[in-house]
Amino acid sequence: MTESRMLIDGKLVDGEAGTFTNINPANEQVLGEVSDASKADVHRAVDAARRAFDETDWSTNHGFRKQCLEQLHYAIEGEIEELREELIAEVGAPRAVTHGPQLDAPLVDGLKYPARLIETFPWETDLGDTVVSVTGVNTTRKVWREPVGVVGAITPWNFPFEVTINKLGQALATGNTVVLKPAPDTPFNATRLGRLIADNTDIPAGVVNVVTASDHLVGEELTLSPKVDMISFTGSTAVGKRIMEKGAATMKRLFLELGGKSATIVLDDADFNTACLIGIGPLMHAGQGCAAPTRMLLPRSRYDEGVAILTTIYENVSAGDPQDPGTICGPVISAKQQARILGYIRKGVDEGATMLVGSTEPPKRFDKGFWVNPTLFTDVDNAMTIAQEEIFGPVLVVIPYEDDDDAVRIANDSPYGLAGNVMSGSLERSLAVARRLRAGFIGLNGTAGYGADTPFGGYKESGVGRQNGVAGFEQYTEIKSVAYPAG
């Protein structure tokens, strides 16, 4: 049931550049061909989105938008198991992870929450009547929230459905039209959504367009086009900076959810047998998550105790077949990504960190696919490359600290500020530390606030803006202040 065609202006079409091949990262088998968009295809999609925004009532018809989002939700539910198998195959996502953040969790409210917000959001705020000093006229003042316009949504390969559904839900609920550009490594989940929109919803032609391309620079046409009002991008900080730079020419509105090097601080009063379990986080989906807790900070007084627990975890988790329900660490997405991760592991060894578990080479038991062994580094200084740069693989670095102040200093000593965790026997103490962390998404004592109603995003080089929640909803709107003589 894979869909190879793109959705442009309400029609499923082939790409002018031909096709490109979608590969299963676990075994390198060909999953199929998908349409390859040219720059002209992208501009046709942008033109369709522009017309749909400017010439239809999509941007103002709240009830219709709500109906269409609900239709899309139920259409996806009708193919959820096919979509699950597709994500396992093209993303290399472990089956277990699809029952959480890869598919089931975002589907619950990714579309339904913003659909509900359509009815409750303050589209108009009354500031009351006043005599304005510059005119002397008794004036009624309103603040209107309106959609931004055409949104270019660029999505990553690591959690493609989760990111896409949250971008579509909020952008469409606020009345925008969208050109969706998925990562070339994982196109089928996006083209499936295009087919479902075309065949199973009343979403008008041009409101959603899906363009797939093997060339990343084809997607840059969205950033360059003056007809695109906003870029909503999730991916690497390097690409985010390029989008910010190229979008400056047309003053693009931006939502950028970028990289991370998130720290878990285990305080000395924590139950270490429980607290150190969060160290398994970088193994989930082979560490291919922007908020993965890839730095663990342990008090020097209990450092050896924590390292012993982490060593047991890492020695007992292996990279395995994502189809196996017991697998948590599958393949990485590509040979390029595999080489990049292994390069970081070698760099860690060269800089003097201790590789307690892992290897600088791929696992030998796999003949095909892109695999990296779970890797645990200790004796890490926070200035080392493996502690400062985002590896995006199954690698945990463990760093000692002296006291709470030192732990906060180390956690904040990073160009990133996406997420973090604090583990403590005292809620009051963990809250006090959390308030000092320069990161946008903090979990205390093993919890996480993930959900369609919870803003997600980061400080510093982890991005601009927030996904989800009212804060995420608002960023897809413009503010218009209106005044007229009071009646």
The catalytic site residues sit at: 257
Please provide the distance, in angstroms rounded to a whole number, between the alpha carbons at the two ends of the chain. 60
Q: Are 398 and 307 in contact (CB under 8 A)?
A: yes
Where does 157-251 show beta strands of DSSP type E? 177-181, 208-210, 230-234
Q: In angstroms, rounded to a whole number, what is the distance separating the alpha carbons of residues 340 and 352? A: 19
Q: Which amino acid is at 92?
A: G
Q: Are 123 and 59 in contact (CB under 8 A)?
A: no
User: What Rg, from alpha-carbon coordinates, does the chain have?
Assistant: 24
Q: In angstroms, rounded to a whole number, what is the distance separating the alpha carbons of residues 25 and 349? A: 27
Question: Six-digit token pair at 478?
Answer: 């413009």
Bridge-based pairing state of the strands 230-234 and 150-154: parallel
Q: Are 406 and 247 in contact (CB under 8 A)?
A: no
Question: How many Cα atoms occupy the beta-carbon half-sphere of 194 within 13 Å?
Answer: 31
Q: In angstroms, rounded to a whole number, what is the distance separating the alpha carbons of residues 72 and 475? A: 22
Q: How open is the CA angle 468-470-474, to the nearest 5 degrees?
A: 95
Q: How far is C-alpha 34 from the chain's CA centre?
A: 23
Length of the chain: 487
Distances (CA, A) of 48 to 60, 148, 173: 18, 16, 18
Count other C-beta atoms under 10 Å from residue 353's C-beta: 22
Q: How far is C-alpha 45 from the chain's CA centre?
A: 23
Closest CA to 361 of 349, 347, 348, 345: 345
Question: Six-digit token pair at 310?
Answer: 């982490």
Q: In angstroms, rounded to a whole number, what is the distance separating the alpha carbons of residues 118 and 123? A: 9
Q: In angstroms, rounded to a whole number, what is the distance separating the alpha carbons of residues 53 and 148? A: 10
Closest CA to 166 of 478, 418, 471, 479: 471
